[in-house]
Amino acid sequence: MNQHLLFTPGPVNVAQNVREAICKQDICHREIDFDYLLQSIENKLLTLFEIKNTADYRAVVITGSGTAANESMLSSVVEGKNILILSNGEFGERLHNISKIHNENTFLLEFNWGEKLSLKKIEDFLQIQKIDVIAMVHHETSSGMLNPLEEIGKLAKSHGAIFIVDCVSSAGAEVIDLEKCHIAFCSSSSSKAIGSYPGLSFVVGQTQEFEKLKTLAIKSMYLNLYKFYDFIRTFSQTPNTPAVHLFYALEQALSNILNEGVVNRYADLRDKANMLRQGMLSLGLKFVINQKDMCSVLTTVYTPSHIDVGVLRHKLREKSIIIYEGKGCFKNRVFQVGNIGALSFTDIQYFLDSLEKVLDSFEPIVKILPSVELVRKTRIVGTSSQIPKLIPEIEKISADLLISEERL
């Protein structure tokens, strides 16, 4: 039984069989038992991404968060070439910060948080600056924006650039067609839409692109992407000691998706997201971005002006509900609600009912400014010569007067 319902984009509440999988027997990562486990995970990852020509792709698993997978790509792929980071939120900024550490020739094309990536601006930039690698976030979790893969993949291909994508919070929830979108490498994490525990990440990439890494300079000992590829290709193992029991959990979470059917899983998450969004709209709440631009895992909501988001979060926690607060330019302005992991439609209805009660517990504050006519009709003790002088002062005071809607 979960003490809290995690309405977050990760970590998530895991299914019971995932919870049980992490308690399986102890095995050595240099024995055949682990070889079979890793082979199973790789095959299931390629199936999750609906890759038709599986011989053309490999998947490597890293003990570390999604950021570890992103750093493995950005430190291994670029070498001395020019890389362009597309950013419209916190995690695009993180890609840029990682790349600056490893790659001297890092360029940034930055958009506002929650703003759509402009294909024209990207195209204009590529016309004036030679770029060898383009990197972006698929689902920008800071706003909930789902950025376009196919269009930018086509731009990358037409300009001779390889395309790498952070799919940390979209894999397992949205269609990611690596072949159609010309994606060389993409990253993701075990703990978000895939529905397992935090601690593992992975990179899925074209076999020919993995092979090219062999001749590039090594910039990281632990996150050397070619080394992960070489070990899984040669030994069906990882180069370093893995978190073995998290691998068991990841395999079970992937099995859950495949047993349900990838298309069915996507549809289920869309239905849950729609239920959540329609319910919050009915409560009078407003969203940061248009629904058509949202990912199926998360909704970012403006906090009503009379409500402190920290207090809102605390009151929901008292009802065993965990949500996110906004960060960066959204701090103190928004809250975020996820719908992934082992959350049921019943859980979502409980959230909506609880949210309504919590919102009602805040007193809406309105400003009341009495009209001059009302003041003129009000009986004021004083001489007739004093009353006209008092009216401006009364107006000034009343403009700052705050009373609750319930007292009107």
What is the DSSP code (8-state) at residue 292? G
pLDDT for the residue 405: 39
Instruction: For tokens 């495949």, name the residue.
Output: 258
**3-state SS assignment for residue 397:** helix
The answer to whether residues 175 and 266 touch, using CB atoms and an 8 Å cutoff, is: yes
| Per-residue pLDDT in tens (0 to 9) along the chain, 408 residues | 468 999 999 999 999 999 999 999 999 999 999 999 999 999 999 999 999 999 999 999 999 999 999 999 999 999 999 999 999 999 999 999 999 999 999 999 999 999 999 999 999 999 999 999 999 999 999 999 999 999 999 999 999 999 999 999 999 999 999 999 999 999 999 999 999 999 999 999 999 999 999 999 999 999 999 999 999 999 999 999 999 999 999 999 999 999 999 999 999 999 999 999 999 999 999 999 999 999 999 999 999 999 999 999 999 999 999 999 999 999 999 999 999 999 999 999 999 999 999 999 997 755 444 444 444 444 444 444 454 555 555 445 444 444 333 333
Q: Find, among 79, 130, 81, the residue nearest to 102 by Cα.
A: 79
Q: Measured between alpha carbons, how far is 269 from 193 in angstroms, rounded to an integer?
A: 9
Pull the structure tokens for residue 398: 């009343």
Instruction: For tokens 């004083």, name the residue.
Output: 382
Domains of the chain by start residue, with CATH: 12-260 (3.40.640.10), 262-360 (3.90.1150.10), 365-407 (no CATH)
Q: Measured between alpha carbons, how far is 268 from 143 in angstroms, rounded to an integer?
A: 22
Q: What pTM does this model have?
A: 0.89
Q: Measured between alpha carbons, how far is 17 from 369 in angstroms, rounded to an integer?
A: 60
The pairing of beta strand 200-206 with beta strand 145-146 = unpaired
Residue 45's Cα: distance from chain center in Å?
19
Pull the structure tokens for residue 166: 């952070």
DSSP per-residue letters across 203-267: EEEEHHHHHHGGGSPP--STT-HHHHHHHHHHHSS-SS---HHHHHHHHHHHHHHHHH-HHHHHH
Pull the structure tokens for residue 386: 């004093």
What is the DSSP code (8-state) at residue 85? E
Q: Measured between alpha carbons, how far is 216 from 291 in angstroms, rounded to an integer?
A: 42
The answer to whether residues 168 and 226 touch, using CB atoms and an 8 Å cutoff, is: no
